[in-house]
Structure 1
Amino acid sequence: MSISLAISKQLAQSCYPDSPVSIDSFKSWRRKEKVVVVMGATGTGKSRLSIDLASCFPAEVINSDKIQVYQGLDIVTNKVTKDETSGIPHHLLGVVDQESDFTSTDFRYLATHALGSIVGRNHLPIIAGGSNSYIEHLVDDNELGFRAKYDCCFLWVDVSLPVLHSFVSDRVDRMVEMGLVDEVRRLFKPDGDYSRGIRRAIGVPEMDWYLRTEAYANGKTRLRMLEEAVDEIKVNTCTLARRQLEKIRRLQSLPGWKVHRLDATDVLRMHGRQADKAWDNLIAKPSSMIVGQFLYDDGNAYRKFCRPAIVARGIPVAAGTH
């Protein structure tokens, strides 16, 4: 199944009024700066939702995926393309040297700097990515005093594991078709360290044996080894998804982590325009309402300041946790 990010452009046209909305319009409703955090397992649509929301509110996105911070391997790491960002500024995306050992401490430092820069421009920061431990360390770090400065709205794009596993498997096949093998081959070093830097990315260690032996194996053997490597990538990606879900459920149970769950299972079961329509109705619209109420603390304020076409399209004002 292919889910297009082009809907963010449609949202930008349909939910904005003729003149841009300013974050100044809701400053009188807040006591602290506000931040939206988009969480979810790999493949659930976190990037897409962050772009959709940033098309409805004056916002910028901070990447919180520990592998997407690195330069290169755009196919393997499934980075959003320049076209897919729809002109929304993205921070911490493809900015770290491939050999560096980027840690949660590094993330907290760079994310804190990005947050200050974004709110300084009167924009809304949207943190999006699959590294939930990085998000937890940022939000609950006592030394940083994050919660004393910011109110958070946590959105969780969820998909049932059987459906997600099928989608992830298909996505890996598409990544191979797009050139995953050649991309990893260009990075390959016989003495490369798979415990640090971008080589930790799922899709890199799994290709090691194939790349070491492809020059000496016959065609049939090479095909078999490649299939085994791709299968291992699929298994490891599904394992990652399960661990990410376990982490989100743990965070959801903690004080101060009111997480709004949005079920995208039906979206991943569909294709083409049907999938886009389901995404709009099940994820994009409810999320925009949740964020609008979070920003303005009041449904009437949301009607006043958010782009009126959303309300005109019949989205309920009293949207809650899904």
Structure 2
Amino acid sequence: MPSSLDLPTGRLKMDLLLHRPQKEKVLIVMGPTGTGKSRLSIDLATQFPAEIINSDKMQVYQGLDIVTNKITEEEQCGVPHHLLGKLNPNTDFTASDFCRMASHVLESTRSRGQLPIIVGGSNSFIEALVDDEDFIFRSKYECCFLWVDVSMHVLYQFVSERVDRMVENGMVDEVRNIFDPKADYSKGIRKAIGVPEFDLYFRVEPFLDEENRGKLLKEAIQEVKNNTCKLAYRQWKKIRRLKNTKGWNIHRLDATEVLRTRGKAADEAWEKLVAGPSTALVAKFLLDFPMEPSAGALRDHMKQCLVA
């Protein structure tokens, strides 16, 4: 039997509206690149009445969908996504910009009776939003933090294989289409891992024979893999700091077994280790249960709320 809860969104929406807490509730999904944050956010948004707010500083830009690993329209499953693929790729997008725009989206999402799910790997943006200097966010919102974690050696292998799939899907040509020898790699979408690594290759490509072109391309792809692994480790360290040093109440979900396996076994591991426990945690968070409830207890509680 699946461990996730099949909760009718209409009932839950009515329950949230009838029993709205003093602070509005926000769900924040964190984790290093490649761990399954987007997948989990969609799983939860199809269980609860929710909208998703992107907090990935590169995915906010238009273009380079393969390089930035944007969730596709099909993968979004009809769930509204905000701050995704919206900005001019040549503009700068700072933590202050994110806080301002995300705050506006949070207000509009809550006004529609929807749960905001903030998801992305830019933990500095999330920290700037949640722990603002004036304590405004914490005074208005109560947060549930979910951390999708994977053992580093397993994650490194996975992201390496993912880069290979990105190359197969056209990543090199996607980057070539925006190549500019005078480009500033410190601004906009060109800061994304997977762009500056190809600069030398594109500059000398026309002057090399096939063998040397292949060798240089292979080196550029390996650099993308190395930098992606370094990013994953930095993201992991940042989440540990938020949890252990700053005291954020972050719920860790170990998805290592999901990436170790394939096919049906991986889907079963995801349901057992990530999706199911997350659904229970979010239901408890939204319905203010004093202890972790069973699926039956949650349904009974919602029925009582509807009758009341």
Distance in 2 of aligned mates of 1:230 and 1:39: 26
Q: Normalised by the size of structure 2, how large is the TM-score?
A: 0.92
| CA RMSD in angstroms, aligned pairs only | 1.9
Match of 1:244 among 235, 256, 259: 235
Of 34-43 and 143-152, more deviation after overlay is shown by: 143-152
1:33 and 2:24 aligned? yes
Report how far residue 15 of structure 1 moved: 1.2
- Secondary structure at 1:78's aligned position in 2? coil
Q: Deviations over 1:149-184 (max 9, x none)?
A: 000000000000000000000000000000000000
- Secondary structure at 1:154's aligned position in 2? strand
Q: Which residue of 2 aligns with 1:227?
A: 218
Report how far residue 297 of structure 1 moved: 1.1
1:304 and 2:300 aligned? yes
Report how far residue 78 of structure 1 moved: 0.2
Sequence identity (%): 57
Report how far residue 292 of structure 1 moved: 0.4
Matches within 5 A, 1:10-159: 15-17=6-8, 20-27=10-17, 28=19, 30-143=21-134, 145-159=136-150
Q: Which residue of 2 aligns with 1:258?
A: 249
1:285 and 2:276 aligned? yes
Report how far residue 30 of structure 1 moved: 1.9
Query: Is the contact made by 1:132 and 1:244 (CA closer than 8 Å) also made in structure 2?
Result: yes
Uncovered stretches (5+) of structure 2, i.e. residues with no partner: 304-308
Distance in 1 of aligned mates of 2:245 and 2:87: 32
Letter in 2 for 1:302: L
Q: Normalised by the size of structure 1, how large is the TM-score?
A: 0.88
Report how far residue 77 of structure 1 moved: 0.2
- Secondary structure at 2:46's aligned position in 1? helix
Uncovered stretches (5+) of structure 1, i.e. residues with no partner: 1-9, 308-322
Q: Which residue of 1 aligns with 2:191?
A: 200
Distance in 2 of aligned mates of 1:255 and 1:163: 27
Q: Which residue of 1 aligns with 2:161?
A: 170
List 4+ stretches of structure 1 deviating above 2 A.
19-24, 299-307
Query: Is the contact made by 1:21 and 1:305 (CA closer than 8 Å) also made in structure 2?
Result: no
Distance 1:236 1:302, change over 3 A: same
Distance in 1 of aligned mates of 2:188 and 2:99: 17
Letter in 1 for 2:11: V
Report how far residue 11 of structure 1 moved: 9.9
Of 252-261 and 270-279, more deviation after overlay is shown by: 252-261
Letter in 2 for 1:114: V
Query: Is the contact made by 1:51 and 1:86 (CA closer than 8 Å) also made in structure 2?
Result: yes
Letter in 1 for 2:148: V
Distance in 2 of aligned mates of 1:174 and 1:306: 44
- Secondary structure at 1:187's aligned position in 2? coil
Report how far residue 143 of structure 1 moved: 3.2
Query: Is the contact made by 2:25 and 2:142 (CA closer than 8 Å) also made in structure 1?
Result: yes
Query: Is the contact made by 2:3 and 2:276 (CA closer than 8 Å) also made in structure 1?
Result: no
Letter in 1 for 2:298: Y
Report how far residue 272 of structure 1 moved: 1.3
- Secondary structure at 1:143's aligned position in 2? coil
Distance in 1 of aligned mates of 2:3 and 2:247: 30
Q: Deviations over 1:103-130 (max 9, x none)?
A: 0000001100100010000000000000
Q: Deviations over 1:227-282 (max 9, x none)?
A: 00000000000000000000000000245510000000000001112111111111
Query: Is the contact made by 2:66 and 2:169 (CA closer than 8 Å) also made in structure 1?
Result: yes
Report how far residue 144 of structure 1 moved: 6.2
Query: Is the contact made by 1:38 and 1:46 (CA closer than 8 Å) also made in structure 2?
Result: yes
Distance in 2 of aligned mates of 1:281 and 1:40: 18
Distance in 2 of aligned mates of 1:222 and 1:130: 33
